Amino acid sequence: MSNLGSREQTVWAPFFGSMGAAIGISLSALGAAYGTAKSSTGICTAAVLRPDLMMKSVIPVVMAGILAIYGAVVSILIIQNLSYELTAFQGFVQFGAGIAVGFAGLAAGFAIGIAGDSGVRGSAQQPRLYVGMILIMIFSEVLGLYGLIVGLLLATKATA
């Protein structure tokens, strides 16, 4: 059995790096899709009451879409560093980078979708709620940004 802390190359290390890239983009895209779908139902409901707020209410959809970009950035960084010569450490760190950005994007997508749905519906009935909705969206989006930061740090650590 090989020592996982050693600098020896392993046959299975690229598998973990590849899985990190796949999980990172998949879970981030899933979070973005959920956030878009959930907040879009609120937008359609609010547009029935106030059609003039349609374009103003698209903010949660845009913020949800950004989550997929976070996953794509980390996954591309991982893929660029994949090779047959990866050590076990590098493969596990790349896997961790994908897990970090993927689950953070998924959680942020849930938060954006639920808060965006309620916020858009509420701001259609009471326009003074709009600024509060935007603040909640920012705090929801920053969850995905934390995952991006950790994912980038881990992915760059795998190359060192």
pLDDT tens sequence across 139-151: 999 999 999 999 9
Q: Is 159 helix (H, G, I), strand (E, B) or coil?
A: coil
**What percent of the chain is modeled with pLDDT above 70?**
94
pLDDT, average across residues 103-126: 95
What pLDDT is stored for residue 105 in this prediction? 97
Is the predicted pLDDT of residue 1 greater than 60, yes or no?
Answer: no
Ordered DSSP codes for 80-133: HT--TT-BHHHHHHHHHHHHHHHHHHHHHHHHHHHHHHHHHHHHHH-GGGHHHH
**Would you state the structure tokens that stand for residue 23, as one six-digit string?**
């999980």
Task: Tell me which of 43 and 1 has the higher pLDDT.
Answer: 43
d(CA 155, CA 159): 7
Convert the pLDDT of each residue in 56-110 to its tens digit: 889 999 999 999 999 999 999 999 988 888 888 999 999 999 999 999 999 999 9
